[in-house]
Amino acid sequence: MLRVGLTGGIGSGKSTVARTLADLGAVVVDADAVAREVVEPGMPALTAIRERFGDDVFGRDGALDRPALGRVVFGDPAALADLEAITHPAIWRRTAQLLEQAPNDAVLVHDMPLIVEKSMGADYHLVVVVGATEEERLARLVRDRGMDEQDARSRIAAQADDDARRAAADVWLDNHGTPEQLGVQVRRLWAERFEPFNANLLHGIRARRPDALTISEPREEWTAQAARLVARVEKALGERAVTVEHIGSTSVPGLPAKDVIDLQVGVASLDDADEQAFVDALARCGFPRVGEVSHDNGKDGQDWPKRFHASADPGRMAHVHVREVGSPGYSWARRFRDWLRVDEAARSEYAALKMRLLAQGLTPSEYADAKEPWFDSVHERVRGHAAHSPG
């Protein structure tokens, strides 16, 4: 089951995206709908709200006056915290029930406003953010919802800013155009990423790799993309992983690279990585195992054993290399990364090698093999840097 977190600032158009995804076949769990459900008449949370905030946030019919409550809590962190302490446990219990009811082969979309604020990105395979400028969202809230402008500004200010949302977003849907233009983006996302990603998860297979070798100029977003994947792997494996970190060329600022995020998981023993619970946890997270046993070409004349997993996400190629902490392969991956990060001449030398090999028209597999002689040649330089580095 593909789990998607859908979020965006108030007035961004998130609900429109959720409806489109539901029409395409997704199972959508709407956090706002759940929040309304748990404060319906007769629900325990409603009684607790009356006790904390009084009768002024209730209508004459005894129902909760949500706009009145909003005016009380937005802009008052203490009041908002009190409200969340009342409603959140009930919301999460009901949300868990709805999530468990979804079919195993579904694309499950959790329409949740506070994914970024609550640092929940690791709970999902993908986080989709619907984006629009603060000015556009303000205009929509006043024009379309009839909100008071100051009330709308307070609600916007209480949420995460766009920098935080972009850092959390695996997918950014730009909603500055028409509803039809937004719908085109959503349908394309469904066909090109959600459906194949879900199929790969269901069958435990990696996403199809590109046939042609390409080398990309350095991209700032690689760091944020890797951080999101690290968080998901850490959450999936828990104490089974001793370390999870970004390695490889995309972890070195300023270095051209294949557009592939490499992660290294350090384990106490490869026996731990062979346990079915470990393999299943990574597969559910979006990283099925590739082959039973893998190895690196060692620099000591020996093969360096590891376990290898690859991303099921067709929109984000990524590899997970599982190695024993302290093993030669584990240490080399870290030392090589750290050496390139600080040695500008080494980065330039490696970048030139990449460009020469790219010009030869090699396949990705041939390219990987062709780099091995250079890796062997710099082994002592890498060791020397590690020996003189702090820690």
What is the pLDDT tens value at each position of the chain, 391 positions in all?
A: 999 999 998 888 899 999 999 999 999 999 999 998 999 988 999 999 999 999 999 998 889 998 899 889 877 899 999 999 999 999 999 999 998 999 999 999 999 998 999 999 999 999 999 998 888 888 888 888 888 888 888 888 878 888 999 999 999 999 988 889 999 999 999 999 999 999 999 999 999 988 889 999 999 999 999 999 999 999 999 999 999 999 999 999 999 999 999 999 999 999 999 999 999 999 999 999 998 888 888 888 889 999 999 999 999 999 999 999 999 999 999 999 999 999 999 999 999 999 999 999 999 999 999 999 999 999 999 999 888 776 5
Q: Where do the structural domains in the chain lie, given as residue ranges? A: 2-203, 221-387
Q: Do 105 and 26 contact (CB within 8 A), yes or no?
A: no
For residue 375, the model assigns a pLDDT of 94
Residue 243 counted as an annotated binding residue: no
What is the rounded distance in angstroms from the CA atom of residue 320 to the CA atom of residue 257? 17
Amino acid at 104: N
For residue 390, the model assigns a pLDDT of 66
Q: Do 57 and 47 contact (CB within 8 A), yes or no?
A: no
| Closest-CA residue to 341 (of 260, 246, 267) | 246
**β-pair type (243-247, 107-111):** unpaired
Q: Which CATH architecture has domain 221-387?
A: 2-Layer Sandwich (3.30)
Residue 250 counted as an annotated binding residue: no
Q: Do 130 and 12 contact (CB within 8 A), yes or no?
A: yes
Residue 11 counted as an annotated binding residue: yes
CA-CA-CA-CA torsion for 274, 279, 281, 283, nearest 10 degrees?
A: 160
Q: Do 141 and 20 contact (CB within 8 A), yes or no?
A: no
For residue 356, the model assigns a pLDDT of 96
Residue 15 counted as an annotated binding residue: yes
CATH of domain 2-203: 3.40.50.300
Residue 16 counted as an annotated binding residue: yes
Ordered alpha helix ranges (H), the chain: 14-24, 31-37, 44-53, 66-73, 77-101, 134-145, 149-157, 162-168, 179-189, 195-203, 221-237, 270-273, 276-285, 328-342, 344-359, 364-370, 372-377, 379-387
Amino acid at 46: L
What is the rounded distance in angstroms from the CA atom of residue 207 to the CA atom of residue 212? 15
Assigned token pair, 36: 């309304």
10 Å Cβ neighbour count for 70? Answer: 18
For residue 293, the model assigns a pLDDT of 82
User: In a 10 Å sphere around its CB, with 0-12 CB exposed, 13-18 middle and 19+ buried, how is residue 265 labelled?
Assistant: buried
